[in-house]
């Protein structure tokens, strides 16, 4: 299982540890709320109109068709279909981007207002008339991808935390070499349906005009059914991929988190910000507010680390990822991490929570600095939760989070809870799993 996942990792993406490093930006205009319309067949249209964009627009489709919609027999279908679609649609009236995650697949065209109609028509072709001529070429590309250790680590984390469930399947798949055109056709028929799709417009787009385009291009699409199934169970467990010849060790620890954009999810985002992220290559690495970053920096315990919150429609993961060349002190790194985790439910201070809230609000709002980023936010929220929180609503929700809320969330999600652990590379000194689980609760007195 481990070697299978290792050879079928996700496509290379920007490193998690770089997520807080971004250029200066201005807060996006929050005066216009998201408008939504649902067609008779169940397809949702969601837009945020912003004429200040001066003709720039992004339109895309977000589909409830990620790797968790697969089974072991057709594992890898969602990602392979996405790759074929991108190759077949080089021009969509704009610059096409696409991505598949555990929960969804999206196709988005960055375009201009005058090309929106053409973009929507091409997006509809992906959904309703996708040609699978490039199957063998894209299959070979997936199987020959070079593994990225960060993504390998996270795929193994999902595999062990949600073992025995579809959420534990890797995005790149376990059965790509055996998938047939009929397998992909069946997957499209089951998942590329109206009730599982959100057509998103952001920037200089007209909502009513986009609704008419949706009726023209998607009106005959079969309704299908919304995804259903039991909530994936979380299993405390570990996977170790020891390789003493590797230069860096990659480790991840995680507990079960909260569903995307729920009240508890926002509490976990604040907790994530308190733990923080750190990278030795940053100029101000020694001066970050995170207590853990001070310990790591002062003792050279890692090359980089990041706390993370992953939310899905019914569950999530909350945890920590690190890459380090200091293989002899991995045990120390885990020790100080768990001390900080447990402090969240005991001695976390008002000033730490308030500072984290300010940092979190700035990070979330400043990330909406382009039509593509806004479209991504709309698609994620509407597809997962059925609605989108405006900037003001999100700010108000975060402002309401108190020290008591953080401590209660830490007690619920961290204190004496099951934990999933992944280690890859030279991990001889990675703490024994029994000790890691025992240290999820220190003696309070």
- What's the confidence (pLDDT) of residue 282? 82
- What's the confidence (pLDDT) of residue 288? 75
β-pairing, 44-49 with 197-203?
A: parallel
- List the single range of 11-15, 281-285, 323-327, 336-340 with lowest mean pLDDT: 11-15
Alpha carbon 239 to its chain's center: 21
- List the single range of 53-57, 167-171, 340-344 with lowest mean pLDDT: 53-57
Mean pLDDT of 238-253: 97
Using one digit for the tens of pLDDT, what is the confidence trace for 121-163? Answer: 999 999 999 999 899 999 999 999 988 999 999 999 999 999 9
The CB density around residue 222, as the number of other CB atoms within 10 Å, is: 13
Closest CA to 279 of 259, 306, 254, 260: 306
* pLDDT confidence tier of residue 370, bands split at 50, 70 and 90: very high
- What's the confidence (pLDDT) of residue 265? 98
- What's the confidence (pLDDT) of residue 51? 80
Mean pLDDT of 22-29: 38
What H or E segment, with its residue span, contains residue 142?
Answer: helix 135-143
What H or E segment, with its residue span, contains residue 272?
Answer: helix 263-275
Higher pLDDT, 50 or 179: 179
Distance, CA of 233 to CA of 255 (rounded, Å): 12
List CB contacts of 373: < 8 A, sequence separation 6 or more. 367
- What's the confidence (pLDDT) of residue 152? 96
Using one digit for the tens of pLDDT, what is the confidence trace for 298-356? Answer: 999 999 999 999 999 999 999 999 999 999 999 999 999 999 999 999 999 999 999 99
Distance, CA of 79 to CA of 11 (rounded, Å): 10
Using one digit for the tens of pLDDT, what is the confidence trace for 181-204? Answer: 999 999 999 999 999 999 999 999
User: What is the CA angle 188-189-194, rounded to 5?
Assistant: 95
Secondary structure letter of residue 29 according to DSSP: P
Higher pLDDT, 94 or 113: 113
pLDDT higher than 80, residue 103: yes
Count, residues in the chain: 445
Using one digit for the tens of pLDDT, what is the confidence trace for 70-92? Answer: 999 999 999 999 999 998 876 66
Closest CA to 88 of 140, 123, 139: 123
pLDDT higher than 60, residue 3: no
Higher pLDDT, 228 or 109: 109
Higher pLDDT, 445 or 417: 417
List CB contacts of 94: < 8 A, sequence separation 6 or more. 58, 59, 109, 110, 111, 112, 115, 119
> Which tokens go with 225?
């059914």
Share of the chain above pLDDT 70, in %: 90
- What's the confidence (pLDDT) of residue 21? 38
DSSP 116-128: HHHHHHHHHHHHH
What H or E segment, with its residue span, contains residue 319?
Answer: strand 316-324
Distance, CA of 371 to CA of 56 (rounded, Å): 7
The CB density around residue 208, as the number of other CB atoms within 10 Å, is: 12
What is the Cα Rg of the chain in Å?
22
- Whether the CB-CB separation of 56 and 165 falls below 8 Å is answered with no
Q: What residues are paired with 411 via a beta bridge?
A: none
Mean pLDDT of 34-50: 96
Distance, CA of 158 to CA of 316 (rounded, Å): 10
* pLDDT confidence tier of residue 444, bands split at 50, 70 and 90: low
pLDDT higher than 80, residue 28: no
pLDDT higher than 70, residue 241: yes
Distance, CA of 303 to CA of 61 (rounded, Å): 38
- What's the confidence (pLDDT) of residue 26? 40
Q: Supply the pTM of this predicted model.
A: 0.89
Whole-number mean pLDDT of the chain?
90
Sign, CA torsion 327/329/335/337: negative
The CB density around residue 405, as the number of other CB atoms within 10 Å, is: 17
pLDDT higher than 60, residue 359: yes
- What's the confidence (pLDDT) of residue 90? 65
- What's the confidence (pLDDT) of residue 287? 65
Q: SS3 for 250?
A: strand
């Amino acid at each position: 299982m481990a070697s299978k996942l290792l050879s079928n990792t996700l496509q290379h993406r920007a490193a998690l540890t770089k997520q807080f490093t971004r250029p200066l930006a201005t807060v996006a205009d929050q005066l216009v709320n998201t408008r939504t319309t649902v067609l008779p067949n169940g397809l949702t249209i969601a837009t945020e109109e912003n004429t200040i964009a001066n003709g720039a627009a992004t339109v895309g489709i977000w589909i409830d068709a990620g790797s968790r919609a697969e089974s072991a027999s057709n594992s890898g279908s969602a990602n392979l279909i996405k790759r074929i679609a991108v190759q077949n649609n080089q021009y969509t009236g704009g610059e096409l981007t696409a991505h598949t995650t555990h929960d969804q697949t999206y196709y988005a065209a960055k375009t201009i207002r005058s090309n929106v109609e053409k973009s929507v028509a091409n997006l509809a072709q992906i959904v309703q008339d996708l040609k699978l001529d490039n199957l063998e070429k894209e299959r070979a590309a997936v199987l020959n991808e070079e593994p990225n250790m960060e993504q390998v680590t996270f795929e193994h984390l999902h595999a062990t935390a949600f073992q025995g469930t579809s959420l534990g399947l890797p995005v790149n798949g376990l059965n790509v070499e055996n998938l047939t055109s009929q397998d992909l056709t069946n997957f499209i028929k089951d998942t590329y349906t109206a009730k599982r799709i959100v057509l998103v417009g952001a920037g200089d787009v007209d909502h009513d005009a986009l609704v008419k385009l949706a009726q023209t291009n998607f009106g005959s699409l079969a309704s299908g059914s919304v995804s259903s199934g039991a909530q994936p169970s979380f299993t405390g467990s570990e996977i170790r991929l020891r390789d003493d010849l590797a230069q860096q060790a990659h480790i991840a620890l995680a507990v079960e988190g909260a569903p995307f954009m729920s009240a508890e999810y926002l509490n976990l985002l604040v907790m994530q910000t308190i733990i923080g992220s750190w990278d030795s290559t940053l100029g101000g690495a020694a001066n970050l507010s995170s207590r853990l970053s001070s310990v790591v920096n002062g003792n050279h315990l890692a090359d980089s680390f990041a706390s993370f919150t992953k939310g899905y429609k019914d569950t999530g993961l909350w945890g920590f990822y690190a890459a380090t060349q200091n293989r002899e002190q991995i045990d120390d790194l885990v020790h100080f991490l768990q001390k900080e985790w447990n402090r969240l439910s005991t001695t976390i201070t008002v000033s730490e929570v308030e500072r984290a809230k300010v940092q979190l609000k700035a990070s979330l709002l400043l990330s909406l600095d382009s039509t593509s980023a806004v479209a991504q936010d709309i698609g994620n929220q509407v597809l997962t939760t059925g609605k989108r929180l405006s900037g003001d609503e999100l700010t108000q929700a975060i402002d309401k989070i108190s020290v008591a809320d953080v401590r209660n969330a830490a007690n619920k999600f961290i204190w004496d809870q099951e934990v999933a652990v992944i280690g890859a590379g030279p991990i001889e000194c990675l703490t024994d799993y029994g000790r890691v689980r025992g240290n999820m609760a220190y003696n309070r007195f």
